[in-house]
Amino acid sequence: MGIFDNLRKAASSAASGSGESQTFSFAALPESLSELKALPEASLDTPFKAAALTVCALCAYAAAPEIGKEMLNFLKGPAPLSPYEISFLNDRFRDTKVVPFSYFEGAVPENDYTPNEPFRVTVSSNPYSYPDDTHATLYLKSGGADMPRQIKLRKKPSEGKWYLEEQMILVGIRTPRSADPWA
């Protein structure tokens, strides 16, 4: 047995432990808060469901900020969007509206981030996703980025529901082909 064997075993078990992925499918994206609430994922009984609905809400925000804001406030539960978060969202959607769509299957720069239908988003965890019983950091893969992006969620134990705490998915992605002067 070599001196590094124990380190390799520890790294291998950490990489294979407690990571899971869940894929959610939507025939159509919700266009109102009532449509969002009618989805089975709106039970918010897992952090994966709350993360998947966050992508839907951000897509709605891109199309109609007031509707998206209502959806995000529902997903944030007892801590609605702050003025800072609203300003951040408005800034992110000033130049492009495609970023949240890039998290759906089939949405890549070559097709200007047009997702396949039904809309499918995969949410993943890793061995470090749950620092305690009430916090989770989950990951989504964008068709325009190399590394998965994070969504942080928090559980309200008295309700058994998971709520959006912070999203870090509205960051830069590769330029859509139609907007790329070098394509």
- Locate the domains of the chain by residue range: 22-176
The pTM of the full predicted model, rounded to 2 decimals, is 0.88
Q: Are 161 and 155 in contact (CB under 8 A)?
A: yes
Tens digits of residue pLDDT in 110-143: 999 999 999 999 999 999 999 999 999 999 999 9
By the 10 Å C-beta count (0-12 exposed, 13-18 middle, 19+ buried), 71 is classed as: buried
